[in-house]
Amino acid sequence: MSFGVSSVTLLHILDYQLKNQTAKTGRTGFQLLVVHIDTSAVEQTAPNPSLISNLQARFPDHSYAVLPVKDVFEETTSDAKPQTSGQPEEQAEPHATSTSSHLSTLLASLPSATALADTITTLRTRLLTAYAAAHACEAILWGDSTTRLAERTLSETAKGRGFSLPWSVADGPTPGGIMFNYPLRDLLKKELLSHAEFVRPPLTEVMFEESKTGVVSTSSKTTTIDDLMRAYFESVEENYPSIVANVVRTATKLEPAGFEQSDARCQLCGMPVPEGRFGIHGWGGDQHDAQGLEAGVQKEGLCYGCTRSVPRGVGLPP
């Protein structure tokens, strides 16, 4: 739950479906655990506690949890109990100072706005996957629209994460052991915005403000690859929605790379790295093969995509 139009709309649809199941059969086919990853501390934005309270008041039949992104380096995900009523539970914070310091050091070392946004997104996904596994969830339901999936397809490729596209834009199992599903994958963002406007205020009161298509300055130091892709596809979908859909349909045809559960994993994103070929050299991003490098150069444990974001020599929390 990011409190954007897509995730809130998805919850609204699922809540309606569950209510219909209860009315017809007296039982439901599944239960929802709604999780919000709080990144306000690392993105230096003010948290809005009223949003989760409004969400619980609007959809009271589900469990809720709020996780600070720094918990990605904690072993507390299995101890955080989802709440079915009242305010979300305060999370335990053993060794919080140590991991917060490590996380702050990591983020402060990143060389660009794109690297920062990429790393925060990676940590958010890793934390959510670990939390879902700890609570025996069968799948994670993402509210990404066709427009959002098209944005991700090109931005992830540009950032060197094309190898993970089959897991990040298509339904199915992932290396984290949790199914990813995208129920809104066939709907454009403008269609979701129209739906939110139609049923307001039940949805708009629990959403961040959604901006319409805008102009992104390519010269700004704070502009990220994700910002550019977002502006591009939100403008394209106005007059050429088929282009957006074609990008997603093409990406979903990609076959995931084979891997074994015993394969080494990237220390940051957790993706498998077959044969332990870490770093830019190991993934073919350089003319030199990894085997020709001196011992120890590629021992930092980062995959190709994470190597491009995190400078060499920056230590990660254990």
Give a yes or no: residue 109 inside a domain. Answer: yes
> Length of the chain in residues, anyone?
318
Give a yes or no: residue 288 inside a domain. Answer: no
Give a yes or no: residue 318 inside a domain. Answer: no
Give a yes or no: residue 256 inside a domain. Answer: yes
The structural domain count of the chain equals 1
For the record, the structure tokens of 259 come out as 């891997």
Contact 180, 246 (CB under 8 A): no
Q: What is the structure's pLDDT at 98? A: 64
Contact 113, 224 (CB under 8 A): yes
pLDDT in tens, the chain (318 residues): 999 999 999 999 999 999 999 999 999 999 999 999 998 888 777 777 888 899 999 999 999 999 999 888 775 445 555 665 545 444 444 455 566 777 888 888 888 999 999 999 999 999 999 999 999 999 999 999 999 999 999 999 999 888 889 999 999 999 988 999 999 999 999 999 998 888 777 677 777 765 444 455 555 778 899 999 999 998 999 999 999 999 999 999 998 877 777 788 888 888 888 777 777 765 554 444 444 344 444 446 888 888 888 877 666 665
* Listed residue (71, 154, 118) closest to 269, CA to CA: 118
Give a yes or no: residue 315 inside a domain. Answer: no
DSSP strand pairing (272-273 vs 264-265): antiparallel
DSSP state of 68: E
CA distance 85 to 58: 12
Give a yes or no: residue 207 inside a domain. Answer: yes
Give a yes or no: residue 247 inside a domain. Answer: yes
With a CB cutoff of 8 Å and minimum separation 6, the contacts of 227 are 216
Give a yes or no: residue 283 inside a domain. Answer: no
Could you write out the DSSP letters of every residue in 111-136? -SHHHHHHHHHHHHHHHHHHHHHHTT
Phi/psi at 241 (5° precision): -60, -25
DSSP state of 63: E
CATH of the domain at 19: 3.40.50
What is the residue range of 78's domain?
5-278+298-309
Q: What is the structure's pLDDT at 93? A: 47
Q: What is the structure's pLDDT at 204? A: 73
